Amino acid sequence: MSVFEINTPVSTSIFVTATGNDSVTLAEEIKKYDTAKLIEFLQGQENLGLDEDDEKIIRNEKVNGLDFFNLTQEELEQHGMKLVRQKGS
């Protein structure tokens, strides 16, 4: 099993330009993701150390973006994902 590193929750100060003059936070955008898109996003985050076992857990539990933000460390660990905080957090 890999180590799933957590830095801090996605900051609400990070903005993604949306259509028109609107802007949304990255967190708001991720909350709209289905399971496949969430996994794709997480795979692109090199500092997470996500491996196939972790992706399988997310896929099997059908975790979407909104669910992901509501998960606790305890819940992730109950499903077999080991979490470690990065140094300096």
Helix (H/G/I), strand (E/B), else coil: 38: helix
- Asked if pLDDT for residue 89 goes beyond 70, the answer is no
How far from 68 is each of 17, 77, 87, CA to CA, in Å?
22, 13, 23
> Do the beta carbons of residue 33 and residue 69 sit within 8 Å?
no
Length of the chain: 89
* Domain residue ranges in the chain: 3-85
Count CB atoms within 10 A of the CB of residue 74.
8
pLDDT value for 21: 47
pLDDT value for 83: 64
pLDDT value for 46: 81
Task: Take residue 14 and report the two structure tokens written for it.
Answer: 């990070």
Q: What is the pLDDT of residues 45-84, one digit of tens each?
A: 888 888 898 999 999 999 999 999 899 888 988 888 876 5
Architecture field, domain 3-85 = Orthogonal Bundle (1.10)
Average pLDDT of the chain to the nearest whole number: 76
